[in-house]
Amino acid sequence: MKLLTRIVSLLVLSLALSACGWQLRGDTATLNTEGVSVAVVSQVNNPVAAALREQLTLSRALAVEGSETLTIEVGRIRKEKRVVAVDQIGEASVYRITLSTEVSMTDMNGETVSAATRMSQSGNYNYDKRILDAMTEEELSLDQRLEQQLAQSIARKATILGRNLRP
């Protein structure tokens, strides 16, 4: 009887956990960078380029100087913030932020693989003027997420193009 109670308890517990949506997940997909070595060129304080270097380092695709199969040039980051919804009295209640940059890629011989292309990421956040500090933090958090997403998009494009360059 005790064994049956334990089995039923475990079954109920596992059903309850799955019903709550509890799962183990990663927050990003792993890049398949086998055989791709990438160098990143940008302004010194470019947050998207920094996030891109970090992602390439984690996936072991950041090139040691002179060994790159692909060079990515990340341009200046542009931020656009606009109102997308207003409340009953006409004040902003939702903002949309768009981060964009020009990205070009060249191969190890300096030939253009991908001409300068504008890449961007957008996201919304709710705004409440009564809690300005929290809204400032929310905007900064969204900026950081968009920088990471933009870097991921660039890394995916570079990985695909870099695999096509391999001998």
Q: List the domain boundaries for the chain.
A: 30-165
pLDDT tens, residue by residue, 131-164: 989 989 999 999 999 999 999 999 999 888 877 7
Residue 106 clears pLDDT 80, i.e. is over it: yes
The C-alpha torsion from 131 through 136 and 140 to 145, rounded to 10°, is: 30
> Could you tell me the two tokens for 100?
């964009």
pLDDT reported for residue 148: 96
Q: Report the alpha-carbon distance of residue 72 to residue 77 in Å, rounded.
A: 15
Count other Cβ atoms within 10 Å, centred on residue 85.
12
Q: Tell me how far CA of residue 6 lies from CA of 3, 22, 112, in angstroms.
A: 5, 22, 65
Contacts for 154 with CB less than 8 Å, ≥ 6 apart? 48, 52, 72, 74, 103, 119
Residue 26 clears pLDDT 50, i.e. is over it: no
Q: Report the alpha-carbon distance of residue 97 to residue 51 in Å, rounded.
A: 18
pLDDT reported for residue 33: 59
DSSP tally for the chain: helices H, then strands E: 3, 5
What global pTM score does this model have?
A: 0.75
Q: What is the CATH number of domain 30-165?
A: 3.30.160.150
Backbone angles phi, psi at 156, to 5 degrees: -60, -45
> Could you tell me the two tokens for 18?
């799955």
